[in-house]
Copies of this chain bind each other. A is one copy, B any other.
Amino acid sequence: MLRGLTRAGLGQIESDEQFIELAAKYGFQAVDLDALSLVEAHTVAGARELLEKNGLVVGSIGLPVEWRTTEEAFREGLPKLAQAAEAAAALGCTSCCTYVLPSTDFGAAHFMALATRRLRTCAQILGAYGIRLGLEFVGPHHLRTRWQNPFIWTIDETLDWIDAIGEPGVGLLFDSYHWYTNGGTVADIEKLRVDQIVHVHINDAPDVPVADVLDNGRLYPGEGVIDLAGFLQGLHRIGYTGAVAQEILTATPPTDSPESLVERSKAGFDKVYAAAEI
């Protein structure tokens, strides 16, 4: 499993180039970034070279489509999605992800119908480029009532939704934080087929009651109470070999230098990978 980084939790990173270099310097193997921007800045050949010389792959891109509001906003994003998919594919990336909020101000059933159709269209466009769509279930309890109507937040509900979308190549973005806040076990991971997992996030949580864990209260791997060794072992056991990317969302941005934050991240990965013995 590749050690991966997102920019979240790394402070004031100034550019993709800086992000890539720091990731490489501290032994990371995957970066989640905007492939289209990178290609536009460097050309496909240049972007490939930049990644290769730093020993990195693109773990996943974000879904550049607004599927949560109006039909107009949704449609507007589709040309961009095709371009983003083309750029990602050119860089060898096969994963694109989006998160799913656990409550909504829309009617829950109607919004589920709309979102099913919209995400299917996204999956179809991505699929034309060999890219899979990962859906991130979001577990923190406070978000389940943050908006008017409950939506979905569990692994099983999300798998059922993936079946409803019904397109090959749709799977989970599996984040340790949401697994933890759902009360997930290692056995829950081992029940999955590896092709159900499109991407993985790894984050840690503070030692507070699970129901009080805040979405933007995340800790670096190894600095909290989540059984990340078990998490990694479970993924390893079912055959997952892709990227495991940290995404540290916090209430206020960290003020340390990006380099020291990447170094701290490395220490976290070292600790939990060692504990997992993988």
Whether A128 touches B195, Cβ cut-off 8 Å, given contacts A113-B152, A167-B168, is no
The A interface, classified by DSSP as helix, strand, loop or mixed, is: helix
The CA-CA distance from A149 to B112 in the complex, in Å, is 14
**Copies of chain A in the complex:** 4
Q: Which residue of B lies closest to A77 (CB)?
A: B82
Residues of B within 8 A of A128 (CB): 74-75, 78, 121
Choose the segment among A4-12, A13-21, A155-163, A207-215 that binds chain B (4+ C-beta atoms closer than 8 Å). Answer: A155-163
* Whole-angstrom distance between the Cβ of A74 and the nearest chain B Cβ: 8
**A146 interface contact, C-beta 8 A:** no
Choose the segment among A103-111, A226-234, A262-270 that binds chain B (4+ C-beta atoms closer than 8 Å). Answer: A103-111
Whether A116 touches B83, Cβ cut-off 8 Å, given contacts A121-B124, A121-B128, A125-B78, is no
> Which residue among A82, A150, A157, A160 has the maximum number of chain B CB atoms within 10 Å of its CB?
A82
**A79 interface contact, C-beta 8 A:** yes
The CA-CA distance from A79 to B85 in the complex, in Å, is 10
The CA-CA distance from A110 to B104 in the complex, in Å, is 13
**A273 interface contact, C-beta 8 A:** no
**Additional 9 contacts, C-beta under 8 A, given A79-B83, A109-B112, A112-B116:** A79-B79, A79-B82, A109-B157, A110-B161, A120-B166, A121-B125, A124-B125, A163-B168, A195-B195
A-side interface residues toward B, CB under 8 Å? 74-76, 78-79, 81-83, 86, 89, 104, 107-114, 116-117, 120-121, 124-125, 127-129, 149-152, 157, 160-161, 163-164, 166-168, 193-195, 239
Q: List 16 A-B contacts (CB under 8 A).
A: A75-B128, A79-B82, A79-B83, A82-B125, A107-B108, A107-B152, A108-B108, A109-B152, A113-B152, A114-B164, A116-B164, A120-B164, A121-B127, A166-B168, A168-B168, A239-B239
